[in-house]
A and B are shown apart, each in its own frame.
Chain A
Amino acid sequence: MNWRKSRPQQNQAASASLRGARLPADEPLASHRFSPENLWGIAFILPYLAVFCLFVIYPIGYGLWLGLRLESFEALFSDPIYWRTVVNTLLLIIVGVNLKMFLALLLSGFFLQRYRLMPLLLLIFILPWAMPSIPTFIAVRWLLNSQWGLINNVIWAGWQVDGPGWLTDPTLAMGGVIVFYIWKWLPFWTVIFIAGRTAIPEDLYEAGRVDGANKIELFRYVTFPMMASLYLICTVLSMIWTLGDYNTVRFITGGGPTLSTHVLATLGIRDAFEIGEPSVGMAAVISALPVLVPLVVLLVWRMNKERVQL
């Protein structure tokens, strides 16, 4: 969204008011504190204002009050699985997100090729994202089941050996989380990048081709610079959302084996609702703020600077 937009518009309205004959109610609205416009405007924002105060400000304040205590952080930091959880969270938002975004960028070009069946392939490709998360992750959990899952059944049928314990080995389980996290969210970002690429004016490519640029050069000197700010903003936004992703880990591994694949979002819920320590759970969430706040600031700053609209 464009922050600055509100002001130029006001100037526009002001200059419009200089041009034409206007009714009293039409004068620059700010000067008329009790004009019908202002009264209606206030009435119209009240519902959202109420939602915002009751269900955004209040929970945030309450959560901070609950979690910002020395003893909850002491309890959190002395929990042996906490540091493992931090590493997992960073793996997901650094490796998972970046791999996903890069693949989405490449695939967006792939899907824009002019073959007749491409739109159909895209429709199928979107399925994992268009389906609700819980069914898809339950399907993944069964796929990876080491005893009865499809993958190990195929390995057994082909080579008569037991496949690896995808969900019983901590490293493989975390790898599985990352791979199927990408599987689930890749289509969404690919669609966003397809829209971004179609917005690049065709004459830029035309000019490049006239200058004798090949495909890689066209990507490097036209697509990439034109997509750079959208790519950065989407990456930051995706990191923020992934930080709060609960369902992926909860349903693929359940945090196991031996609590080795938790991320901060699932650990917070576990501490609060399974262990019964809400303030420790809240501390786990708050400990993500040193990553979350800079990301949000970066997002807002880039969106202002580039005037990119999502």
Chain B
Amino acid sequence: MSEGARIGQGRAQLVATIIISVVILFWTLLPIYNMIIVAMEPKDAVFSGSPWPRDLTFVNFWTVFTQNFWYLSHFWRQMLNSLIIALVTSVLVIAIGTITSFAIHRLKLRFGFLLSNAALLSYAIPLSFLAIPFYKILNTYGLLNTLWAVIIVEVTFASPYAIFIFSQYSTSIPMELDEAARIDGATVPQIFRRIFLPLMMPAIVAVGTYSLLLAWNEYLYAFLLLSSETEITVPVALGHFLSSDDSPWNILMAAALVYSIPPLIIYYMTRNRMTTGMTIGGVKG
């Protein structure tokens, strides 16, 4: 290939890349742009039919912050509920995930592989398919309309993934470390705390973030299991907006944006570790 042709090809590739990039940006940002604009418009501008943003203002965000709208009179309480569910879920998932994978892979429990296979199978069950029996069961346990109901569901569905990731990651920690500690007289809990946990930290961060985001984003189970205004989470409250015909879309969008910001910050902060966590092991096909 001549030098000129190669440069020409490089330029053609650059032009193609720029065109595709513009299409990707437009496609990705259109709904998000729309959301931000609506969140910053007064109500009459939202229903004006104008394609261009008009009279942009932050007043809707102020309405959300001060809970100055009857759909949102418990907004901060609902944010707190989302936060409690997310934090408790991720602590429990990390606890259950680490001890289970430690027992199966480091203590080499004889039938441990059965449990990890069972966990993996339950990872492949679509969450929403068990909503009806879950509702009935938690009803008989008297847990409906408590945050624990949602926490239990999230722990149930996030633990298999945790066990799966921890098991894969733990194979990278040499068994000799455990054996050496054992010869030095370390007990099992000591090996777990002093050797296993510190070396598992990257996977723990990844799984912790995963379950935090999973629980924060949960809609269906929170919608079914929680009912009172002070117990529901933010996405359930956002869903309530849609039940009335003349929804205040601008306030709805402002509340939705406020609710979206914490997970976005967490995601972009831990992004590099997340991708390693999600694709630990990579392809070995």
Is B21 interfacial (CB 8 A cutoff)? Answer: yes
Beyond the given A29-B107, A55-B152, A107-B24, please list 13 additional residue pairs across the A-B interface where CB-CB is below 8 A: A40-B107, A45-B104, A48-B119, A48-B159, A63-B129, A121-B25, A128-B28, A139-B34, A200-B283, A244-B129, A269-B224, A273-B135, A288-B129
Q: Is A69 an interface residue (CB 8 A)?
A: no
Contacting B96 at CB < 8 Å: which of A51, A130, A308?
A: A51
Interface string of B109-148 (1 = CB under 8 A from A): 1101101111111101111111111111100000000000
Q: Do residues A29 and B46 form an inter-chain contact, with CB atoms below 8 A?
A: no
**Which residues does chain B contribute within 8 Å of A29, judged by CB atoms?**
107-108, 110
Complex: how many Å from CA A250 to CA B159?
A: 26
* B128 close to A124 (CB less than 8 A): no
A23 beta carbon closer than 8 Å to chain B: yes
Most buried by B among A9, A41, A250: A41
Contact A56 B156, CB 8 Å, known A6-B113, A9-B108, A247-B219: yes
Q: Measuring CB to CB, which residues of chain A are less than 8 angstroms from any residue of chain B?
A: 1-3, 5-7, 9-10, 12-13, 16, 22-23, 25-26, 29-30, 36-38, 40-42, 44-45, 47-49, 51-52, 55-56, 58-60, 62-63, 66, 107, 110, 113, 115, 117, 121, 123-125, 127-128, 130-136, 138-143, 147-148, 150, 153-154, 156-157, 180, 183, 191-192, 195-196, 199-200, 226-230, 237, 240-241, 243-247, 250-251, 254, 265, 268-269, 272-273, 278, 281-282, 285, 288, 292, 296, 299-300, 306-310
> Which secondary structure dominates chain B's binding surface?
helix
A148 to B120 CA separation, bound complex (whole angstroms): 45
When distances are taken between beta carbons in the complex, the residues of chain B under 8 Å from A6 are: 104-105, 108, 112-113, 116
With A37-B188, A226-B283 in contact, is A133–B217 under 8 Å at CB? yes
Residues in B with CB closer than 8 Å to A192 are: 278-279
Partner of B126, one of A132, A153, A199, A244: A244
Please determine whether B122 and A139 come into contact, CB atoms closer than 8 angstroms. Answer: no
A229-B124 contact, Cβ under 8 Å, with A1-B168, A47-B96, A309-B168 = no
Contact B109 A38 (CB under 8 A): yes
Binding site for A on B (CB under 8 A): 13-14, 17, 20-21, 24-25, 27-32, 34-35, 37-38, 46-47, 49-51, 95-96, 99-100, 102-105, 107-110, 112-113, 115-122, 124-137, 152-153, 155-156, 159, 163-164, 167-168, 171, 175, 179, 182-183, 187-189, 216-217, 219-220, 224, 235, 238-239, 242, 249, 252-253, 256-257, 259-260, 263-264, 267-268, 275, 278-285
Q: Name B128's contact: one of A131, A134, A142, A246 (CB within 8 Å).
A: A246
Q: Are A110 and B131 in contact (CB under 8 A)?
A: no
- Contacting residue for A60 out of B28, B130, B152, B163, CB 8 A: B130
Complex contacts, B96 vs chain A, CB 8 Å = 47-48, 51
Contacts of A154 in B (CB 8 A): 51
Interface centre among B131, B168, B183 (most CB of A within 10 A): B131
Determine the chain A residues whose CB is within 8 A of the CB of B117 once the complex forms: 3
Given contacts A52-B122, A110-B20, contact A40 B188 (CB under 8 A): yes
A30:B110 contact, CB within 8 angstroms: yes
Whether B130 contacts A130 by the Cβ 8 Å rule is no
Bound Cα distance A257, B66 (Å):
36
Partner of B283, one of A2, A150, A251, A308: A308
Do B109 and A134 touch across chains, with their CB atoms under 8 A apart?
Answer: no
Closest to A264 in B: B129
Find chain B residues with CB under 8 A from A230 CB.
283, 285
Nearest CB of A to B221, in Å: 10
Question: A153 and B278 in contact (CB under 8 A), knowing A138-B242, A246-B220, A282-B133?
Answer: no
Given A25-B182, A132-B217, also A191-B31 (CB < 8 A): no
**19 pairs, CB–CB < 8 Å, chain A vs chain B:** A22-B183, A42-B109, A48-B115, A49-B115, A55-B153, A63-B129, A113-B17, A123-B268, A130-B264, A134-B256, A135-B35, A143-B31, A147-B49, A154-B51, A180-B31, A244-B129, A245-B126, A245-B128, A269-B131
Instruction: Considering the complex, give the chain B residue whose CB is closest to the CB of A247.
Output: B219
CB distance from B121 to the nearest CB of A (A): 7
Complex Cα distance, B282 from A2, in Å, reads 13
Q: Which of B108, B119, B120, B156 has the most CB of A within 10 A?
A: B108
With A192-B279, A308-B283 in contact, is A44–B103 under 8 Å at CB? yes
Q: Return the chain B residue nearest A184 by Cβ.
A: B31
**Per a CB cutoff under 8 Å, which of A127, A196, A300, A308 touches B29?**
A127
Q: Which residues of A contact B235 (CB under 8 A)?
A: 132, 134
Q: Which residue of B lies closest to A110 (CB)?
A: B20
B282 lies within 8 A of A199 (CB): yes
Partner among A124, A157, A292 whose Cβ is within 8 Å of the Cβ of B25? A124
Assembled-state Cα–Cα distance A288/B129 (Å): 9
Q: How far is the CA of A226 from the CA of B35 in the complex (A)?
A: 40
- Do A148 and B49 form a contact, CB below 8 Å, given A44-B100, A281-B132? yes
B282: chain A residues at CB < 8 Å are 195-196, 199, 309
Give the residue of A16, A142, A156 whose beta carbon is less than 8 angstroms from that of B179: A16
Q: Quick check: A124 and B220 within 8 Å, CB to CB?
A: no
Q: In the complex the two chains form, is A134's CB within 8 Å of B264's CB?
A: no
B226 CB → nearest A CB, Å: 13
- CB <8 Å contact, A58 and B137: yes
Query: A58 vs B152: C-alpha distance in the bound complex, in angstroms?
Result: 14
